[in-house]
Structure 1
Amino acid sequence: MDIWNLAIRIIFLSQTTTGILGNLLLMLYYLVLYYRECTLKSTDLILMHLMAANTLVVLSAGVPQTMAVWGLKQFLNDFGCNLLLYIQGFARSVSIGTTCLLSVFQAMTLSPRNSCWNDNKVKASKYIKCSISLLWVFYMVTRFIFVVHNFIKMNSKNITKGRDFGYCSIVERDDISDSFYTALVICPESFFAVLITWSSASMIVVLCRHKRRVQNIRSSHGSRRNYPESRATQNILVLLATFLAFYTLSTIFRGCIALLYNHSWWLVYISRLTSLCFPCFVPFVILRHYSVLFLFSLIWLKK
């Protein structure tokens, strides 16, 4: 058991460290890009906010959980616990919503001229900032409602069951809060997951059709290199598979913990590891689009 506990500690520490470094590195790149060009493309702006949301998820969920598995238990009071869970909740929802926005925007950008999205391409880029701001504000307000509800329940005398996170404990949600949580959090996230699947699939279809059109021209030159359409299709597939796999696993494990009264801590650890996989690994998926030489652009700040 000591070996397994040590393995869990090392996994949490490695995952949290790589997640923080990956997201901060990519955010730093976009900040340097904005400083040099005084503007960002719509896709880069979405990615920068996605990295910001992922960083908050890793800091608020990965860091305290890593401290808990290394032996620092129940080090937060009620206020600190609710504040930390508040940041976790809205950052995770913003991360999923921003991923959906990125996928839909890319699908609109790659849509053919005869598509119904063709007339809305220019309008979509103008509303990107507004859409991102709405995501942050909506989920901050939504999660704040649950925080206030938890404080009201803590002051109540009819507390029957709490939920232990390892680093803190809170009062368990009741039927009313569960209904609001499903309506304001679970349903939008499920809708975002469907939109991500649809938009990514449409992008792959468009890229494959374009590749077939130019295949005869390229074959006449005898080139066997990896064409941009193939690389873009692979990147979309990897990003889609990463999101759907980890989001589905996280949802399944969360459901098992909610339904099972006597669940083991191993199930809790696996659930928390899978919930951190997407925000920790997605920076490295996105970095596949860029050359390693972009790191040397940081030297420009010293000149």
Structure 2
Amino acid sequence: MYLKDLIIGIVFLLQSTIGILGNFSLLSCYLINYYIEHKMKTSNLILSHLFTANILILVSSGLLRTEQTFVIKVFINDFVCKFLLYIQRLGRNVSISTTCFLSVFQAITISPRNSFWMNLKAKAPHHIGLFTSLCWILYMALNMIFPVYMYNKENRKNLTHKNYLKYCSTVVHDDFVDRLYITIIVLPEILFSFIIIWSSSSMVIILYMHKQSVQHIHSTSVCSRTSPESRATHRILTLMSTFICFYALSSILQGCIALVYNPGWWLINITAVISMCFPTLGPFVMNHDSIKLSIC
């Protein structure tokens, strides 16, 4: 085993362990709280779907990469490989889309009463559950295209180029799959990134205007702590910058992998590490208040 393979394997293992523990602990808090109170806030419902998607990413990608690196060939075969890749893509797509849902929902929630979003403010909480369920169904169907197409192509013995990741062989280059992947996966991820930037910027502007309107109240208060608007702004900017740094960058790198004929070892593994960063750090960046739940 090369030293670089060992280092990458340890990184994947740490990411998977920390991320699974963080996502699972917060998801458990929400589920236990729902079991006790028999209700769940809309934002918590979105976060529950997000944490579930993150767990799928970390389990599938971490298991696949760790077993490949540490030369464990017990579970990895061609079927398991394709299944793990399918789960990884599904979790990533749902994670990005639910993060977009959460950002837009929060922007609608804090919008002023005389804004354009006033009509959606009352309707949005009733339809979020339907939207997230449709999101899972949609991406389950879309991601089935790739293994089904490649299975038929393998049966025709007409493969253009194969990249062997030790025990897991994946078809790297096929013109139809490359264009389809960029069209229905990469481009929507970039679009979701722009929507998150727009909604986060809108929330920052709304919070700034609200802070300015109540500045006289803060100035007469004896409390010297940071204002709620400033704390919320810091959280929004932290979430947006974390998402853009990791998910948007990984989307661009995955597009490069799809376009490059023979992607190198560094490009493939660095892309995989960056793709797992947001699911790993998301629970610690996204939802500070969940740790304060009385059930925990």
Is the pair's TM-score, using the shorter chain for normalization, greater than 0.5?
yes
Residue type at the aligned position of 1:94 = V
Aligned twin of 1:130:
130
Query: What RMSD, in angstroms, separates the aligned Cα atoms of the two structures?
Result: 2.0
CA offsets per residue over residues 212-260 of structure 1, 9 Å max, x none? 1111221122432022111111111111111100023212332343344
Aligned twin of 1:85:
85
Aligned twin of 1:155:
155
Q: TM-score, normalised by structure 2?
A: 0.93
Aligned twin of 1:203:
203
Question: Relative to structure 1, is the Cα distance of residues 235 and 166 closer, same or farther in structure 2, using a 3 angstrom cutoff?
Answer: farther
* Conserved 8 A contact 2:218-2:227: no
Residue type at the aligned position of 1:238 = T
Describe the SS at the equivalent of 1:112. Answer: coil
* Conserved 8 A contact 2:190-2:251: no
Residue type at the aligned position of 1:38 = H
* Conserved 8 A contact 2:161-2:171: yes
The answer as to 2:27 corresponding to 1:34 is: no
Between the two proteins, the alignment pairs up a number of residues equal to: 296
Distance 2:290 2:21 in 1: 17
CA offsets per residue over residues 53-109 of structure 1, 9 Å max, x none? 000011111222122222336952222222111111111101100000000000000
Residue type at the aligned position of 1:116 = F
Question: Relative to structure 1, is the Cα distance of residues 253 and 189 closer, same or farther in structure 2, using a 3 angstrom cutoff?
Answer: closer
Residue type at the aligned position of 1:211 = K
* Conserved 8 A contact 1:23-1:283: yes
Displacement, 1:120? 1.4
Describe the SS at the equivalent of 1:164. Answer: strand
Aligned twin of 2:271:
271
Aligned twin of 2:295:
297
Aligned twin of 2:104:
104
Q: TM-score, normalised by structure 1?
A: 0.91
Gaps of 5+ in 1: 299-303
CA offsets per residue over residues 142-188 of structure 1, 9 Å max, x none? 11122210110111122231133444112334222223223322222
* Conserved 8 A contact 1:64-1:167: no
Describe the SS at the equivalent of 1:172. Answer: strand
Displacement, 1:5? 4.3
Describe the SS at the equivalent of 1:223. Answer: coil
Report which stretch shifted further, 102-111 or 157-166: 157-166
* Identity percentage of aligned residues: 47
Distance 1:81 1:21 in 2: 24
Gaps of 5+ in 2: none
Distance 1:256 1:176 in 2: 16
* Conserved 8 A contact 1:75-1:167: no
Question: Relative to structure 1, is the Cα distance of residues 159 and 74 closer, same or farther in structure 2, using a 3 angstrom cutoff?
Answer: farther
Describe the SS at the equivalent of 1:226. Answer: coil
Distance 1:232 1:156 in 2: 56
* Conserved 8 A contact 1:90-1:139: yes
Report which stretch shifted further, 44-53 or 230-239: 230-239
Describe the SS at the equivalent of 1:127. Answer: helix
Question: Relative to structure 1, is the Cα distance of residues 25 and 167 closer, same or farther in structure 2, using a 3 angstrom cutoff?
Answer: farther
Describe the SS at the equivalent of 2:170. Answer: strand
